[in-house]
Amino acid sequence: MTSRAQVLPRVTRIGAPARNSSVPTRSHSPAPAPGLSSLGLLTVLLGAALPMVDFFIVNVALPTIDRDLHAGPAVLEMVVAGYGVAYAVLLVLGGRLGDMFGRRNLFLWGLGLFAVTSLACGVAPSAWTLVAARVAQGAASALLLPQALATIQSATSGGARGKALSYYGATAGIASVVGQVLGGVLVSADIAGSGWRAIFLVNVPVAAVALALALKSVPETRSAHPARIDKPGTALLAVTLVTLLLPLTEGRAAGWPLWSWVLLAVFPLAAAAFVAVERRGERDGGNPLIPPSLLRIHSVRSGLLLIVPFCLGFGGFMFVVAVAMQDGLRFGALEAGAALAPLCAAFFAASLLGPRMVARFGRRVVTAGSLVQGVGLVALAATFHYGGTGLSIAELAPSMAVIGFGQGFVLPVVLRIVLSEVPAAQAGVGSGAMATTQQSSLALGVATLGTLFLTLSGSIGVRDALVWALVAQLASVVATVALSTRLPRRIV
């Protein structure tokens, strides 16, 4: 058992045995790492929030970008998809690089590159230049985000780790909603005539502040014996995600050309090849990108399975609601963002209650939160069905709050569960795998529910299309409820 002196006031060696212990010291123990201070935790959470905010902040700005750059539907979807696909494809690689070269080091590089690519987005002169800058911004995000999670995992232990992971989960959900609220505020404010450009330019000073804080407060951690880059696994994972996400995101807007069907046909082959290569790599003593043994940990496997339907529904919901409020209810960007404020406030309240509720009720908190979210979705669908296109923000607020309250009991808890038993030496890999699952599912939700909504809106109208999209999202809620019963009974 680890001695109290080793844990408090700082973590001296992650995974090291206690003094005078009969347990032999393992040669592969990670190097000593200082604990994570409150300011350090705040800094890594700020860094983690930036990529999450930017996945959603663009939703309410799409109409303005279209008018300013004459983008068209296909290019607008690339503005969203280019970021999401690059982000998802490179996340695990970003985690592995942090294990190799130091998580603080990569965190600093990630912040710097995120600021530079955000500036490139903000000054983009054309639609396709913006798409290219968004792809680069997604790559920078993939370098940045895994280091935040891996730093928490490596520089904390025990109750401090559980609390920090709960804060990370709360940040993940709140940042997603705040992104669209902030986007509406910035677009409407039209600061110095910047319009939609402000949603990207605002990242530059925020990233600069985070960079300055990180230099002082974030400890350096790395794997004592980092694995080499799994080049075949990295390539196959990239092919797998691109062949799934790109055609689903761009296929409808492009009229479902032949290339979209070819890519979808390649997807299952690429996925099977990736699994086979990873299994063979671990069996032969290699360094697979995502070690299959990691997925044999109950908390990791059950948590990742639940993240898929939850984030699929969440990503699709945020995109569809943003478009519906602007095209159907004729809300401006500010009103569309403000309509999500009750959801954000309720999510925040639930995430604060979550740790105490988990200590008392365990995994049943996730089940209850999923059911509450389902009730909120039914209420929102009924509100749109019976209220038509003349709804106000106040009329949307009750159902939005219920949805947010339910989501706040799900996402922070599940993210905490996934990383609760990941060995510190695999912190980067575990963080990258979780973030990849989360981000891919968000992008898949935009692609599937977004495609359903946009297809139906042309024939039956925005209101009814939104109702059907919300009904379809209930399938993800049913899956989340079912999978919540497979989570560990006791949550560390």
117-174 pLDDT, tens per residue?
999 999 999 999 999 999 999 999 999 988 988 888 888 877 787 788 778 878 877 8
pLDDT of 266 reads 96
SS3 9: coil
The span from the CA of 148 to the CA of 258, in Å, is 40
**pLDDT at residue 492 in the model:** 65
- Locate 85 and state its tokens: 């696909």
Half-sphere exposure of 35 (CA within 13 A, CB side): 17
Selection from 315, 286, 348 nearest residue 476 by Cα = 315
- Alpha helix (H) ranges present in 156-287? 158-189, 198-201, 203-217, 231-250, 258-283
Residue 137 CB partners (closer than 8 Å, separation 6+): 54, 83, 86, 114, 117, 118, 120, 121
φ, ψ of residue 346 to 5 degrees: the values are -70, -40
**Cis preceding-peptide flag for 292 (omega within 30 of 0):** no
How far is residue 439's CA from residue 135's CA, in Å, rounded to a whole number? 14
Q: Which residues of the chain have pLDDT under 70?
A: 1-34, 225-227, 424-425, 492
Sign of CA dihedral 47, 430, 234, 103: positive
Distance CA 84, CA 204 (A): 20
Please tell me the number of Cα atoms within 13 Å of 488 on its side-chain side: 21
CB 183 within 8 A of CB 349: no
> Which amino acid, 245?
L
Q: What is the chain's percent helix, strand, coil content, to nearest 5?
A: 80, 0, 20
382 contacts: CB under 8 Å, gap ≥ 6:
399
Q: Can you read off the two tokens belonging to residue 35? A: 């604990």
Counting residues of the chain whose pLDDT is more than 90, the rounded percentage is: 35
Pure H helices in 156-202: 158-189, 198-201
Considering the entire predicted model, what is its pTM?
0.80
* pLDDT at site 329: 83
The whole-angstrom separation of Cα 221 and Cα 149 is 12
Under DSSP, the state recorded for 40 is H
At residue 427, the 3 state secondary structure works out as: helix
pLDDT at position 370 is 94
Written as six digits, the tokens of 331 are 């809300």
